[in-house]
Amino acid sequence: MSKASFSILGLLLCTFSISAQQISGFKKPQNQISLEKNFDSYLNAKRVGENIKLLSSVPHHVGSNGATKIVTEVERIFKENGWDTKIETYQVLFPTPVVRQLEMSGATNYKALLKEPALKEDATSNQADQLPTYNCWSADGDVTAELVFVNYGLPEDYEVLAKHGIDVKGKIVIAKYGRSWRGIKPKVAQEHGAVGCLIYSDPADDGYAAGDLYPLGAFKNEFGVQRGSIMDMVVYPGDPTTPFKGSKGNVDRIGHEVAENLLKIPVLPISYKDASPLLKDLSGPVAPRNWYGALPFTYHIGPSKSKVHLKLSFDWKLKPAQNVIATIRGSDFPDQWVIRGNHHDAWVNGANDPISGLAAELEEAIAIGQLVKNGWKPKRTLVYCAWDAEEPGLIGSTEWVEDHEAELRQKAVAYINSDGNGRGFLGAQGSHAFGPFMTEISKVVIDPQTNVSVFERAKASNAINASSVKAKQEALKQADFRLDAMGSGSDYSSFIQHIGIPSLNIGYGGEDDGGEYHSIYDSFDHYARFKDPGFAYGVSLAQTTGRAALRLAEADVLPFDFKALHQTVKGYTQELMDLIEQQREKVKVENDLIQTNAWALAADPSEKLQAPKTKKLVPYIDFSPMLNALSSLEIAAQFAANKSSTLSGTALTQWNQKLYQAEQQLLSIQGLPRRPWYKHTLYAPGFYTGYGVKTIPGVREAIEQQNYQEANEQIQIVAESIKRLSNYLNND
């Protein structure tokens, strides 16, 4: 082969590789590829860092002076970059502490500090206006009682307590942070009759056993406290006094005392400095080995020798939640909205949570502003939002969605969310019709540390961290990016789970460990040293979420792939069928162990443990309605894919609207049992996991709670929703 022909071949290969980048939904992807290249060229890591510093410069919780300052800065940045910007304000309940008091007296006398000290290495840690350490939505209360240690405070921990014959009725419980969303711990404690709940960060999970302490390292020092909401968001999020309605004007409100998502007992988070003397005072049985943390004494279950006094009261006032809404009107389809959002409120300064994500969103807005300045216009309308009042319970976004529900159901193409962001691997959750869409994006964004695609890095990490050899082999073979299902814990909840807007939640992390979460040490100084030094992952996030927004704004055919959705739901259905089989085996074996006396013989007689009760046998359940519905969906998804590739003109415009409204078919009118606000039949936060997702929640949770009649009813409801989607896609 001559040199000349070799270089022609090289040229051909090169051209081939450029045009080979397929972008689903684009008839001619070249324009989009060059648009994204221009977009990337305007992104600037240094400016991401400057905006993180600016927007975390003061404490800015809901209703504070700092919040108004941050809102003004965010509004200015959007406006300076050509966005049509307004502030939509809701009046929302946001209780802050008036009295916080915790003492132990008796054999041990201790008054809790309840205070994180300022550090000279952390420039904003000494500021006035910091919210004190507390759990928002704790009830007012003044209780004195013995203390009981409940491990992580999950339902299974109470089964262990029952075996030891320990009851928490009338007691105050102390639970470790971790293994579940924090609000589950006081909820389960209240269900068991406890009169108060303390939650502390054990150094085993969040402190010296994890790494060097702040300010030397990133991890929680002995004074650090995780603030946070304990609203029972799995019932409904948003302002607890206005479920289903926007908190605007003279909206009817229910009293917070009767709100179904608020607890009735006082709850307080504390540091391990404050928890130590309390735990040390516990008597009673030695805690099971796997309940131990890393404090230097033997952990006992309790009750305590001394009494704990917990007194809390709150102001229960309405505060303004100020959402910043910035728009660039679409040139071709102004009534089709691509919505992007991240919250701006923080517990204190919030450099990581939420400002790192917000700075990336603003970086996208700045780059898009440049594109517009150079004559480009999005085909669909871009709506960029900065939400307030996320921290106390996704309030700003939920009130906005409830307020604009009818319009959003007509116009919202998708919602793209981010929140805290840091160094590491791409992670995403979302509607599974977006699976292939996310794969394509993840294969063109380049990881700033290794120069491979963020897809390759995420895949490698999944394979290394997979729990079994088989799972590792499967992860290595993965050709698609792993899009996880959505639980809760950030502002996408009302979009996807309440009104069925296709959604994505995107962020980087995994190499950004630390103990700063929801403390005064979530500061710019901490972030710049430990979370994303150089702010390169701020740019990676902007490239990823920005591409998602730009592709959805520009696509000829919107990139929804219902074949991918079908595959995923089929997988979930198989999981449910396996789950009930495992449960049947487990109940049978456990009952055998009790009835054959094996349980009693294996127990240490000196511990006087109480035998567990036998359980009801698990019946056989008929999944055929779901399986049949899935067969129709498979055919309908193929039909839709064929149709997407053939239409043009007005017919295509109408088809696009049909595609983005398809997810709404998966809502059920009645919602989930005991929580009708949650209407999506495929995704919801778990009733006992909080942030953690339960897929096909109606059926899965009924099985987990051994309510088999409800499981049968829910199978019908899910089957109907899948069937509804199939018919919808099949019909013209």
Q: Which is nearer to Zn ion, 353 or 440 (CB)?
A: 353
List strands edge to edge, sheet with 333-343: 84-93, 318-328, 380-387, 333-343, 412-417, 503-510, 424-430
Q: Are 478 and 462 in contact (CB under 8 A)?
A: yes
Q: Which is nearer to Zn ion, 134 or 337 (CB)?
A: 134
**Residues found near Zn ion in the complex (CB under 5 A):** 353-354, 419
Helix or strand (DSSP H, E) at 136: strand 135-136
Q: How far is the CB of 352 from Zn ion (least distance, A)?
A: 9
Q: Which is nearer to Zn ion, 157 or 419 (CB)?
A: 419
Q: Which is nearer to Zn ion, 415 or 560 (CB)?
A: 415
Q: Where are the beta strands (DSSP E) in 208-299?
A: 228-229, 267-270
Contacts by residues 17-20 (CB-CB < 8 Å, ≥ 24 positions apart): none
Q: Are 29 and 22 in contact (CB under 8 A)?
A: yes
Half-sphere exposure (CA, 13 Å, Cβ side) for 278?
31
* Greatest distance between any 2 Cα atoms in the chain: 93
Q: How far is the CB of 342 from Zn ion (least distance, A)?
A: 8
What is the full DSSP assignment across 361-423?
Answer: HHHHHHHHHHHHHTT---SEEEEEEEESS-TTTSHHHHHHHHHTHHHHHHHEEEEEE-----S
CA distance 99 to 121: 30
CA distance 554 to 39: 14
Q: How far is the CB of 64 from Zn ion (least distance, A)?
A: 16
Q: Which is nearer to Zn ion, 206 or 353 (CB)?
A: 353
Helix or strand (DSSP H, E) at 694: strand 693-695
CA distance 486 to 678: 13
CA distance 89 to 77: 19
Q: How far is the CB of 213 from Zn ion (least distance, A)?
A: 24
- Burial status of residue 613 (CB atoms within 10 A of its CB: 0-12, 13-18, 19 or more): exposed
Q: How far is the CB of 516 from Zn ion (least distance, A)?
A: 13
Q: How far is the CB of 522 from Zn ion (least distance, A)?
A: 10
Q: How far is the CB of 397 from Zn ion (least distance, A)?
A: 11
* Per-residue CA distances from 300 to 64, 279, 330, 588 (Å): 42, 8, 63, 33
Q: How far is the CB of 353 from Zn ion (least distance, A)?
A: 4
Question: Which three-class secondary structure string do you get for 458-526?
Answer: HHHHHHHHCCCHHHHHHHHHCCCCCCECCCCCCCCHHHHHHHCCCEEEEEEEECCCCCCCCCCCCCHHH
Q: Which is nearer to Zn ion, 395 or 699 (CB)?
A: 395
Q: How far is the CB of 56 from Zn ion (least distance, A)?
A: 13
Q: Are 9 and 17 in contact (CB under 8 A)?
A: no
Per DSSP bridges, beta strands 683-685 and 693-695 are antiparallel
Query: By C-alpha distance, which of 645, 642, 640, 676 is closest to 661?
Result: 640
Q: How far is the CB of 691 from Zn ion (least distance, A)?
A: 11
CA distance 406 to 421: 32
- DSSP classification of residue 226: -
Q: Which is nearer to Zn ion, 229 or 664 (CB)?
A: 229
Question: For residues 452-482, b (16+ Cβ closer than 10 Å) or e, as one string?
Answer: ebbbebbbebbbeeeeeeeeeeebeeeebbb
φ, ψ (nearest 5 deg) of residue 728? -60, -45
Q: How far is the CB of 439 from Zn ion (least distance, A)?
A: 26
Query: By C-alpha distance, which of 412, 406, 409, 410 is closest to 385?
Result: 412
Q: Which is nearer to Zn ion, 112 or 355 (CB)?
A: 355
Q: Which is nearer to Zn ion, 419 or 516 (CB)?
A: 419
Q: Which is nearer to Zn ion, 394 or 555 (CB)?
A: 394
CA angle 584, 589, 592 (to 5 degrees): 125
Q: Which is nearer to Zn ion, 391 or 440 (CB)?
A: 391
Q: Which is nearer to Zn ion, 357 or 435 (CB)?
A: 357
CA distance 237 to 488: 10
Q: Which is nearer to Zn ion, 186 or 354 (CB)?
A: 354
Q: How far is the CB of 61 from Zn ion (least distance, A)?
A: 12
Query: By C-alpha distance, which of 187, 146, 200 is closest to 169?
Result: 146
Q: Which is nearer to Zn ion, 52 or 308 (CB)?
A: 52
Q: What do you get for the CA distance between the two ends of the chain, in Å?
A: 56
Q: How far is the CB of 491 from Zn ion (least distance, A)?
A: 8
Q: How far is the CB of 390 from Zn ion (least distance, A)?
A: 6
Q: How far is the CB of 489 from Zn ion (least distance, A)?
A: 8
Other CB atoms within 10 A of residue 225 CB: 28
Q: Which is nearer to Zn ion, 353 or 525 (CB)?
A: 353
